[in-house]
Amino acid sequence: MQKLIIIGHRGAMAHKPENTLSSFQKAIELGADVIELDVYLSKDNHAIVIHDKSVDRTTNGKGNVNELTLEEIKQLTVEENETIPTLQDVIDLAKGKCKINIEVKDEKALEESIRIVKKNQLEDEVIISSFIQDVIKKSKEINSRIKTALLFVTAETKHLELANNLNAYYLHVHHSMIDKEFLEKAHNLNLKINVWGANNKKSVKKMV
């Protein structure tokens, strides 16, 4: 039986504030094989690790990430008095400890994310994932060495075909949509499936 791969979604967000260094550190301590994070681009072109396009929900500030400079973002606090990390901050923490799944939330953040990955020589330790098809396509054009993953909420045959046409290595779908037939079709196309949202023993057992 193959080893079960554990992905820490936004780190260990059940224990620490999502997408913070303490959350990623906790995920590593708990044995995550991969940490998943989200990236937007700041006003001054830094790759910022945050799930939403604005800072309103997770910090004490307001405004869209792309309208704020890195200096302005670093002045904001997340609960427990943490700050929003950059992609480089997370790499400095996680390099050599686990792999990193970078979900690109905005196409504008792709090139900077790949530049940072290449600078740190992590092309084989990173996955670029996105719901945005052009992100997957352009990622392969910029650096074909980095594995890509196309994200969908549902699991349909057309999604398998689309991922295959984009030369994606993975398809990421919600665990509730997976069945044996879908997995067989994916494997016939040499596509690997990662699931998200499997956060309890029952859902994990079903996937296994």
Please give the Cα distance from 164 to 189 (Å, whole number): 7
Rounded CA gap, 132 and 138, in Å? 10
Is 159 one of the catalytic residues? no
**Left if phi > 0, otherwise alpha if psi is -120 to 50, otherwise beta: which for 186?**
alpha
9 catalytically annotated: yes
Tokens 């509730």 locate to 176
Residue whose tokens read 């949202």: 197
- Of the candidates 9, 46, 159, 172, the residue annotated as catalytic is 9
Name the token pair of 20: 């913070």
Q: What is the C-alpha separation between 175 and 180, in angstroms, rounded?
A: 12
From the list 15, 46, 51, 187, the catalytic residue is 51
Tokens at 146, concatenated: 């980095």
Residues with catalytic roles: 9, 51
